[in-house]
Chain A
Amino acid sequence: MTTTGQFLFAPLLFQFFLAVLLLFLWRRTDLQRWASIFGNLTGLGLASVLFLRVWRGGALSVQAGGWEAPFGITLVADMFSATLVLLTSAIGLAVAIYSAASVQELRLRLGYFPILQFLLMGLAGAFLAGDIFNLYVWFEIIIISSFVLITIGGERLQLEGAVKYFTINILASVIFLTAIAILYGLTGTLNLADLAVKAKDIDNQALFSVSALMFFAGFGIKSAVFPLYFWLPASYHAPPAAVSAVFAGLLTKVGVYALIRIFSLVFTADPFIYEFMGWIAILTLFTGGVGALVQNNIRRVFSFFIVCHIGFMIAGLAIFSRPALAGAVFYMAHDIVVKANLFLLAGLIFKIRHTNSMKKLGGLYAEYPRLSLLLAVPLFSLVGIPPLSGFWPKVSLVLAGLEGRHFLLVGAMLLASFLTLIIIARLWAEVFWKNGQAPEIKPNAGYFPDMEPKRRALLVAPIAMLALASLYIGFAAEHLQLLSERIASELSDPASYIRAVLP
């Protein structure tokens, strides 16, 4: 064990201390707002330091309590984990700023900020976990925090969404736990690196594949792939926009992260599972796109887009070549930023017009031309109009698909991109260009037009920040391409991961 590895605890413990600090400020919601913003700024700093250290020095690992791997609990940060921790902190900061201006006082009084911080801690922990059971525990921290965030406030829509979200997530956890039980029974170890080493010597390969499929089902529910996605459009539009943004940006991606991690490290022997994933990806791309086509509520449109675009990442994993993995990782980075931004944008539109229905919306461009241009960035990045950020990973994925002769998969990806284009174009026409009237707004009801300028700035700043991030991803694509190629080479050669953990 090296002392440099100890730094891995910093982002996690910091999030934890920040959450505890916010708990102490329970009644001081004014202080909580600023503590959360500045705390998350510091968290972003720590995550950047971690990212730079891993970039320069390679994968870091630390054994909790000095118990050597594979016996103790291991935390590992390879390039993939470090990138995702960095993105988590960035989204955390954006959402903290947005929440300070948009979440109602009623919700803040019920402990909104501390729970949000626990959620961010859980996410960072899941990305850093080097032990399959530890990953399970972080997942539980994530879901219990997200249950509270989805129900906080207790509106009817929220509670109904929560019942669905809750049930399916617990079910996913049980499947995950069952898969862990089988895996432990077969190998006698829980450490991911040790599992990768021992996977080759398992006698009962059939049972090993059963365990792989159960992991796929468990993580598949969490990442909302076909046919396990119905809970997502039924619940993601219910909570406040800031909460939906964290969920949309990060919660499904943590499932995808777990899938990529496990199926590049532990279960690599069985070609059936990759073929199966390919079919799942095709159906996810198709059903998500078609589902989005018929929705009227813009938050539900975006919910179906989450499902649709998860398909791109699963497709990259299914092709399982180095360029495909690079494409999947690139897509994931782009998707985290854009999807979180879309839900912030939907929240802002709601603050302006007090509706999210496409039929009732309209005329935003005439009334707020500069703001509309800003909102165009995430919308068209999602479509992937070159040179915006969605374009580059799709090129990698399509090229990798053609190289691997997965023509159906390539067709599904192109179809999904096309559907996204149609829907965003329609959304742009309906929401921004169509003639529309500002609704009758009661004065002092907390809507955008009669907000004080400081609060308006707090609402627009995170959207601008994330839009800048997607512009950076789009215009400086070679940086992210370099990063995702390095991640892909680490993923397709598990030896470096194993070396970082096992002495």
Chain B
Amino acid sequence: MEILLAIMVGLLYAAGLFMILRRSLVKLIIGLVLLGNGANLLIFLLGRLVKGRPPIIPEGSKALAGAFADPVPQALILTAIVISFGLQSFAIILIKQAYKVVGTDDLDEINATDEDA
């Protein structure tokens, strides 16, 4: 399972990087989304995968015994997903607006900010 996830994470990072190197605005956003998902899965993977052992202290004992699923990475991922959801919705509106105003989605033509005025 770890191997599979590791490959998955690698693929997401690779695909994300490939997409942000393209010239289209839409592909840029897709690339950023893929990278974000890769990072989330990486947190999950590095928090160690434990199956079927929730971190609940059984009745009668005072501490967890043996391996148990770490709840912290899941809390982190949940936070990161919510944040990236907000950022992505902003990004989509932004590129729509930029496309309307600038009239192109080719990143090479978005260069008014580098002109000397």
A interface, CB within 8 angstroms of B: 133, 136-137, 140, 143-144, 147-148, 151, 154-157, 159-164, 166-167, 170-171, 174, 177-178, 180-182, 184-185, 188, 190, 234-235, 237-238, 295-297, 300, 356-357
Measured CB to CB, the closest approach of chain A to B38, in angstroms, equals 8
Q: Say which residue of B39, B48, B114 sits within 8 Å of A177 (CB atoms).
A: B39
Q: Is B14 an interface residue (CB 8 A)?
A: no
Q: Say which residue of A137, A147, A159, A178 sits within 8 Å of B90 (CB atoms).
A: A147
Q: Is B69 an interface residue (CB 8 A)?
A: no
Q: Is B50 an interface residue (CB 8 A)?
A: no
Set of chain B residues within 8 Å of A144, measured between Cβ atoms = 86-87, 90
B116 touches A170 (CB 8 A): no
Set of chain A residues within 8 Å of B20, measured between Cβ atoms = 167, 171
Q: Say which residue of B36, B46, B76 sits within 8 Å of A174 (CB atoms).
A: B36
B117 touches A357 (CB 8 A): yes
Set of chain A residues within 8 Å of B97, measured between Cβ atoms = 151, 154, 159
Interface string of B65-91 (1 = CB under 8 A from A): 000001011001001100100110011
With A147-B94, A174-B32 already in contact, the answer to whether A190 and B72 are too (CB < 8 A) is yes
Measured CB to CB, the closest approach of chain B to A429, in angstroms, equals 19
Set of chain A residues within 8 Å of B43, measured between Cβ atoms = 177, 180-181, 184
User: Using a CB-CB cutoff of 8 Å, which residues 84-117 of chain B contact chain A?
Assistant: 86-87, 90-91, 94-95, 97-98, 101-102, 107, 110-114, 116-117
Interface string of B49-65 (1 = CB under 8 A from A): 00000000000000000
State in angstroms the CA–CA spacing of A55 and B39 once bound together: 39
Measured CB to CB, the closest approach of chain B to A282, in angstroms, equals 25
State in angstroms the CA–CA spacing of A163 and B26 once bound together: 11
With A160-B102, A167-B20, A170-B91 already in contact, the answer to whether A140 and B112 are too (CB < 8 A) is no
State in angstroms the CA–CA spacing of A137 and B80 once bound together: 8
Measured CB to CB, the closest approach of chain B to A167, in angstroms, equals 6
State in angstroms the CA–CA spacing of A43 and B20 once bound together: 40
**Whose C-beta in chain B lies nearest to the C-beta of A178?**
B39
With A171-B32, A184-B47 already in contact, the answer to whether A166 and B79 are too (CB < 8 A) is no
Q: Is the interface of B mostly helix, strand, loop or mixed?
A: helix
B101 touches A163 (CB 8 A): no
A167 touches B101 (CB 8 A): no
Q: Is B15 an interface residue (CB 8 A)?
A: no
Q: Say which residue of A140, A185, A234, A296 sits within 8 Å of B113 (CB atoms).
A: A234
**Whose C-beta in chain A lies nearest to the C-beta of B112?**
A160
A166 touches B46 (CB 8 A): no
A185 touches B46 (CB 8 A): yes
State in angstroms the CA–CA spacing of A184 and B77 once bound together: 13
Set of chain B residues within 8 Å of A154, measured between Cβ atoms = 97, 101
B42 touches A181 (CB 8 A): yes
A156-B101, A174-B39 given; name 11 further pairs at CB < 8 Å.
A137-B79, A137-B83, A140-B87, A157-B113, A170-B32, A177-B39, A181-B46, A182-B42, A190-B72, A234-B113, A297-B117
Measured CB to CB, the closest approach of chain A to B101, in angstroms, equals 5
Set of chain B residues within 8 Å of A174, measured between Cβ atoms = 32, 35-36, 38-39
A295 touches B113 (CB 8 A): no
Set of chain A residues within 8 Å of B70, measured between Cβ atoms = 188
A133 touches B76 (CB 8 A): yes
Set of chain A residues within 8 Å of B79, measured between Cβ atoms = 133, 137
With A160-B110, A238-B113 already in contact, the answer to whether A185 and B72 are too (CB < 8 A) is no
Set of chain A residues within 8 Å of B110, measured between Cβ atoms = 160, 163-164
Set of chain B residues within 8 Å of A161, measured between Cβ atoms = 113
Q: List 7 A-B contacts (CB under 8 A).
A: A161-B113, A166-B94, A178-B42, A181-B39, A181-B45, A184-B73, A235-B113
Measured CB to CB, the closest approach of chain B to A433, in angstroms, equals 22
State in angstroms the CA–CA spacing of A143 and B90 once bound together: 11
Measured CB to CB, the closest approach of chain A to B99, in angstroms, equals 9
Measured CB to CB, the closest approach of chain A to B108, in angstroms, equals 12
Set of chain B residues within 8 Å of A166, measured between Cβ atoms = 90-91, 94
Set of chain B residues within 8 Å of A167, measured between Cβ atoms = 20, 28, 32
Set of chain A residues within 8 Å of B117, measured between Cβ atoms = 296-297, 356-357
A185 touches B94 (CB 8 A): no
State in angstroms the CA–CA spacing of A296 and B117 once bound together: 7
B94 touches A171 (CB 8 A): no
